[in-house]
Structure 1
Amino acid sequence: MKFSPRGGAMKVLLAILALGLTAGAYANEDAVKKAVEGFVGAAAVDSVAKTSYGGLYEVVLKSGELVYTDEKASFIIDGRVIDTRTRKDVTQERLAKLSAIDFSTLPLSQAIKQVKGNGKRVMATFEDPNCAYCKRLGKELAQMSDVTIYTFLYPILTPDSTTKSNNIWCAKDKAKVWNDWIVDAKVPATASCDTAAVEKNVALGHKLRISGTPTIFLADGTRIGGFLPAAELEKAMAAATK
């Protein structure tokens, strides 16, 4: 039986070529992963993908860091790729995408909820009560309106951070006691209750690779690591809404 070059035979040939190219790509990525982990001496690689820049491979480490190498892993670049045509920081753009979350999956019942104004805008923060930048953030958030803030107590700095977090969580008015401490430095009174939520927050934070506080998540899942003044946070929330 004869096939037209535009018929079934051509489709089969194209499918075979596509499969071959895909298999080759995966083989290269697997080889890069193996070589990088051999260099590091541990199973440290989360994913590998070829980029469109100079034959580089993007290597995402399990720590959340991003580095680059070639197909033989003959070098490792720990730095940023800047697209000279668009002037975009490609690395930062990728890191933002890789670190974003699905906001709807956050267990909001484990957080302190504050509704300011109409509360239409939403954000979540992971904060340690003894974090200096969290205290600065608290003063900035106090200036904002029309926002619902979910604060996940995330004591990772000192044993006292856990004590304060537990006392705040067990308070009758959690939001007030949190703000009294974080904004006005009024030490939370000793209180006792089931503090499993605080323990779960720590486990969740580790799962989300949160290594510092404050860490902020916007409604679209965008992650902001560190302190932002209210004006900058307003801009970020507006961008997330768009």
Structure 2
Amino acid sequence: MKVLLTGIVSILLSLLVFTFGNFIIQLFSNWLFITFPHALAAISSILICGLLIYKTVAYMLIFPYSFRRMETMIFFYCWLILLVLAFISNCYREDFYLDNSIPKWVQIVFSFLYIFFWYGQKINVKAVANVNREMSRNYEEEYMSVPKKSSISQRSKYIIMGILLVLILTNPSRSSFTSYLHKSHYDGVGREFNGLVFSVYSYKDIRYLGILGNFIRMPTSPF
């Protein structure tokens, strides 16, 4: 129940963050045009990749015998870096589709495998204890020896998991409602952004911010 509530809160927080960030970008889009969101996305993606590599190396030094934990964590980080690299590669494309770099079936398979390994890790702790109590004792001792700030990292992993599930399971650029609006109302004057969990349609006088296929009408920037 705690994991489920954490996942729901993570999804809501991710939607709020992307909505607020995209709204701020749109307010200043008349000044900065297309370069600001692309540069911001590239810089943030590079920082995220560097942080994940650093944390992976740190965990390898802290948990040298935690094979189950390391296997799951490395798989998770490799998958996240794959998505981030695809995001960077699409930052300089006008069609800006995540699906152009990673096929949909690959995203679904990776999602299933990650959820399987993540929950399997929780179940395998008892199984390892029955097979090899010494290994389990070493695992528990090293896990408990981590400072309390590691709980923040665990919570951050839950939040990242929720965000990634949103990125994969909800792609507004592929929804039928978005396609209908695109075919019916897009006049070809403004630029079309199809980002992670949001879509922005720039028109002559009106900007539409689309989140999960639900469109919110916003006036143009007063600047």
- TM-score band w.r.t. shorter chain: under 0.3
| TM-score, length-scaled by structure 1 | 0.25
| TM-score, length-scaled by structure 2 | 0.26
- More helix per residue: 1 or 2? 2
Q: Which has the higher contact order (CA 8 A, sep 6+)?
A: 2
Structure number with greater Rg is: 1
